[in-house]
Chains A and B, each alone.
Chain A
Amino acid sequence: MRISRFEAGVNYTLLGVFAIFALTPLVGVLLTALTPVAEARSGFGLPSTLALGNFGEAWQRGHFGDYMLNSVAVTLGVVALTIVLSVLAGYAFATMRFPGRTVLFYVMLLGLMLPVEAFVIPLYYDLRGVGLTNTYWALLLPQTAQSLAFGVFWMRNYFLSFPTSVLEAGRVDGATDRALLWRVLVPSAGPAMMTMGLLVGMWTWNEFLLPLIMISGEGLRTAPLGLAFFQGQHATEQSLLAAAATIVALPIVVVYLFLQRRFIAGMLGGAVKG
């Protein structure tokens, strides 16, 4: 069935309007970031000259040289750990029968729903009690715990969707559970793990409150915290703040543009063929 030109026109118009709607605020940030500090105002307008220097100054004032590296390290760590733990747990939930399976699965899902504010204070005191605040672990482990809900859910669903016949054939051949997981399931799960890793990475990169609380020194702070340097007690520097915001958002946006199918598939939680 072909789409009439009229219908296609209507569709493109609607899609176009909403695309503009989605892009406008982001274009606004970019414009502000390119506006010389002295000209900065809140309205939309083209800057008289492109103040590319804003990015350099924001980079330096916001300590992004260090903070970005920290963010990369933390994000990679959380993603790697989440993938390993989720594959193991997802495999158990998908293929094994054991007491408490349903309850445990729901407990796992809690991580999706709990607001950080509900547990961050006791978490801080616990970690400090064992000397972990202000260490890489204080960033890695709690954020992994938060990501597990999605990770386990995602891997379980992937393993469930795996053709039962293949697993059965493996078992008939005498393969152990361990061998099935590592030789059959995991090698085929690359795309699923990647999708999950991208989303977990994105959430970790954007996390603000946990790193703020857990890291008291300078050494391990992450990129979103750098934004605060442009909102001091008395002054806010619009152009630099916008430039800093762009710096923080850019890595994720670039990854997204290259791997958008995986992002979207993941966010839709399997409702789209990923």
Chain B
Amino acid sequence: MTVNGELALPRRGVLALALGSTALVAAACAPGGSGGSAPAPTNSEPVSTDAASLGEVTLTVWDQNTDTGINDAQTELNAQFMAAYPNITINRVSRSFADLKTTLKLALSGDDAPDVVQANQGYPDMGAFVEAGLLLPVDDWAEAYGWTERYPEDLLSLNTFSADGKTWREGNLYGVSQTGEIVGLYYDKQQLSQAGLSAPVTFQDFEAALPVLQAAGLQPMQYGDADKSPGIHLFGATLSAIAGEEKAGDLVSGKGGAWTDPAPLEAATKLSQWAAQRYLPEGHNGVSKAQAVTNFSQGQGAFLFQGTWQQAILQQAMGDRVGFVALSGVDDKPETLGGVGLAWAITSKTANANAAAAYIEFITNAAASQVLVDTGNLPVVLPEGYTAPEGTLAGDIVGQWREVSTGGGLVPYLDYATPTFYDTLTAGVQQLTGGQFTPEQFTESLQEDYADFLETR
């Protein structure tokens, strides 16, 4: 900082600056002290399901439905809703998943908070919002609209929290979801038959196929973890199969177990072996997930652990060549990572809770499910009698989703476990498959984060 050779801040100046800021600071109080930790909000208005009689209402809705297929569905549903209820105007604010996460916390605590938002499940987001009293329990509307009957109980429980936000998967309901999703194994039928293999059903089948594929000169798995989230999918799907739904689920929701237990350690060991054996492609930590999907569709890799959300892209690129399976794990039933899309929740600052609930009902009900299916999305509850053609990718996915979501095979995303778990886990998986962490170091790093958080609850 030099101007005309005058060097450095004069000492007196620094002192004055320091004193000035101290004075300012002393006048302040603990951050968040006044606004936060209010008593748990409840709905004050009587519940009404007659949206047409609510008068002129504008609902501000924040969603993260920016990917092509789901964006089409949301646009269509909003238009239909406004046509059905001309007295309600939807002011849609859509932003990418990452931007939503960055801004939602700030927006919710303001006076001009949106009315309806999509909140991510688990402790980092929904738990923190509930603890701060920013979301309205929707149990009354759940009863009025029949949401409790619509959804399988363990799916609904993903959107529940104790009123203090400290315990997940019990207590009040804070929203419902539009879409369902599971992470499963996409396989290239052509390559499997080339190596003399049939489609895997169990985790053992899958593991046994890896060396066979390699011996046949094929790349066993495709995988790209530059975006960091695919690491959760790979480790999560593996852990689900090895630990089983119950143990893995308890671990994520903080009900019991440790990440250093034998099952997580075994899953970590698998990942590290796959990397060492080159079953995972070289340089995978530098390949984006979009690129990995493209590579897989072009025949580089017989297997790909990915979510059902890749259906449209892979269907289009591979046609009948691709299949999808949720591998059967230790409990002899399909068990894998997955859940429901972000919960549509009502904010506690809204003045139009009834209209908000009516909107949520409208975009999640049976008619909405049909719109979702028509635009290539997977609704939580499939339209009655809906079947996708057998033997196609859509057929596989619909079938597997039904089986997993109703058969108690769903393990929630692992990053829901603690507010910092996403960072710890994704960095850890990259280190594990990159040979920087032993499986023990990896599970210990997870456990450290986990134990710290459990202590604060």
A and B are interacting partners: yes
Q: Would A232 and B6 be within 8 Å (CB), given that A42-B291, A103-B13 are in contact?
A: no
Q: Which of A1-9, A67-75, A213-221 contacts B (4 or more CB under 8 A)?
A: A213-221
- How near does chain B come to A63, taking the closest CB pair, in angstroms? 9
B18 CB to nearest A CB, Å? 12
Q: Mark A211-239, 1 if CB is under 8 A from B, else 0.
A: 01100111000000100110111111010
CA of A225 to CA of B110 in the docked complex: distance in angstroms? 21
Contact of A105 among B3, B102, B112 (CB under 8 A): B3
List the B side residues contacting A225 at CB < 8 Å: 99
Q: Please judge, given known A-B contacts A102-B6, A103-B10, A234-B310, whether A228 and B95 are in contact too, CB under 8 Å.
A: yes
* Residues of chain A lying within 8 A (CB to CB) of residue B10: 102-103
Kindly state whether residue A195 has any CB partner on chain B within 8 Å: no
Q: Which residue of B lies closest to A217 (CB)?
A: B93
CB distance from A110 to the nearest CB of B (A): 9
Task: Say yes or no for A261: interface residue by CB 8 A criterion.
Answer: no
Given A102-B10, A225-B99, A232-B66; A41-B294 close (CB under 8 Å): yes
Residue of chain A at shortest CB distance from B112: A134
Q: Is A213 touching B16 in the complex (CB atoms < 8 A)?
A: no
Residue in B68, B103, B114 whose beta carbon sits within 8 Å of that of A212 in the complex: B103
Q: Are B12 and A233 in contact (CB under 8 A)?
A: no
Is A143 an interface residue, CB under 8 A from the partner? no
Residue of A nearest to B298 (CB): A41
How distant is A133 from chain B, measured CB to nearest CB, in Å? Answer: 7
Contact among A102, A128, A212 for B102, CB-based, below 8 A: A212
Chain B: CB-nearest residue to A218 = B93
Task: Let me know if B84 is at the binding interface, CB within 8 A.
Answer: no
Give the interface size bracket for A toward B.
Answer: 20 to 34
A-side contacts of B107, CB under 8 Å: 216
Whether the Cβ atoms of A232 and B13 lie closer than 8 Å is no
Contacts of B106 in A (CB 8 A): 124, 128, 213, 216
**Selected contact of A107 from candidates B17, B64, B97, B102, CB within 8 Å:** B17
CB of B123 to closest CB in A, whole Å: 19
Chain B nearest Cβ from A116, distance in angstroms: 13
Closest to A124 in B: B106
Mask, B289-315, CB within 8 Å of A = 1, is: 111001000000000000101100100
Within 8 A of B (CB), among A144-167: 153
Alpha-carbon separation in the docked complex, A161 to B91 (Å): 54
| A18 close to chain B: CB less than 8 A | no
Whether A106 sits at the interface, judged by CB under 8 Å, is yes
Contact of A232 among B96, B114, B307 (CB under 8 A): B96
Q: How far is the CA of A102 from the CA of B310 in the complex (A)?
A: 61
A106 engages B13 (CB within 8 Å): yes
Contact check: which of B1, B114, B288, B307 meets A236 at CB < 8 Å?
A: B288
- Closest Cβ–Cβ distance, residue B300 to chain A (whole Å): 12
| Chain A CB within 8 A of B9 CB | yes
Q: Are A233 and B9 touching (Cβ within 8 A)?
A: no
CA distance A228 to B17 in the complex (A): 39
> Nearest Cβ in chain B — how far from A235, in angstroms?
5
Is A185 positioned at the interface, with any CB of B under 8 Å from its CB?
Answer: no
Using a CB-CB cutoff of 8 Å, which residues 6-31 of chain A contact chain B? none
Inter-chain contacts of A232 with B (CB < 8 A): 64, 66-67, 96-97
Given A213-B106, A234-B310, verify A106-B1 contact (CB < 8 Å): yes
Q: Residue A81 at the B interface, CB < 8 A?
A: no
A109 at the interface (CB under 8 A from B): yes
Q: Which residue of A lies closest to B313 (CB)?
A: A235
Give A232 to B99 CA distance when docked, in angstroms. Answer: 10
Complex Cα spacing A133 to B106, Å:
11
Bound-state CA distance A234–B65 (Å) is 11
Q: Is B98 an interface residue (CB 8 A)?
A: yes
B131-189 residues with Cβ-Cβ distance < 8 A to A are: none
Q: In whole angstroms, what is the CA distance A41 to B310 when docked?
A: 18
* A235 and B103 within 8 A (CB): no
Per-residue A-contact encoding for B66-104, CB less than 8 Å = 1, 0 else? 111000000000000000000000011101111100110
Q: Which residue of B lies closest to A209 (CB)?
A: B102
Tell me how far the C-beta of B344 lies from the nearest C-beta in chain A, rounded to whole angstroms: 15
Please determine whether B103 and A228 come into contact, CB atoms closer than 8 angstroms.
no
Contacts of B6 in A (CB 8 A): 102
* Residues of chain B with a CB closer than 8 A to A234's CB: 67, 289, 307, 309-310
Asked if A213 and B110 make an inter-chain contact with CB atoms under 8 angstroms apart, the answer reads no
Cβ-defined contact, A216 with B288, below 8 A: no
Q: Kindly list chain A residues whose C-beta atoms are within 8 Å of the C-beta of B93.
A: 216-218
7 contacts between A and B (CB under 8 A): A42-B291, A212-B102, A216-B93, A217-B93, A218-B92, A218-B93, A234-B310
Residues of B within 8 A of A (CB): 1, 3, 6, 9-10, 12-13, 16-17, 60, 64, 66-68, 91-93, 95-99, 102-103, 106-107, 110-112, 114, 288-291, 294, 307, 309-310, 313
